[in-house]
Amino acid sequence: MNCPECDAKLKIPDDASVGEIVSCPDCGADFEIASKNGTTYELKHAEKVGEDWGE
């Protein structure tokens, strides 16, 4: 599928799962896989790193 930001082709591995992040190689935008149905994906903008993120 194509990047919702810049329309570049996104490479999503076959074993990618919901909740994983994919990055656009062209514009650098990060997307989270919101849902997956076979090889059809729904993407949403990934959350920005928060102050409380970590281990």
Partner 1 sequence: MPKVRILFDRVRLEEKMLEEKSIELGHDTKMIDAKTTNISTESKKGDFDFGDVVLERCVSYFRGLHFTACLEFLDIPVFNRLDVANNCGNKMLTSLLLKKHNVPTPKTYFSFSSESAEGVLEKVGYPLVIKPVIGSWGRGVILLKDRDTADAIIEVRELSDGPLDRIYYLQEAIKRPPRDIRAIAVGDQVVAAMYRVSSGGFKTNIALGGEPILCEITKELEDVCMSASKAVGGGILGIDLMEDEKNGLVVHEINNTVEFKGLARVAKKDIPKEMIEFAVRSSSR
In the range 2-21, which residues lie near partner 1 by CB under 8 A?
17-21
42 belongs to the binding site for partner 1 (CB under 8 A) = no
46 belongs to the binding site for partner 1 (CB under 8 A) = yes
What is the spatial distance between Cα 38 and Cα 53, in angstroms, rounded to a whole number? 31
- Residue nearer to partner 1 on the CB measure, 7 or 42: 42
54 belongs to the binding site for partner 1 (CB under 8 A) = yes
What is the spatial distance between Cα 34 and Cα 40, in angstroms, rounded to a whole number? 11
For 8-33, the DSSP string reads PBP---TT--TT-EEE-TTT--EEEE
Q: Pick from 12, 23, 29, 32 the residue near partner 1 by CB under 8 A.
A: 32
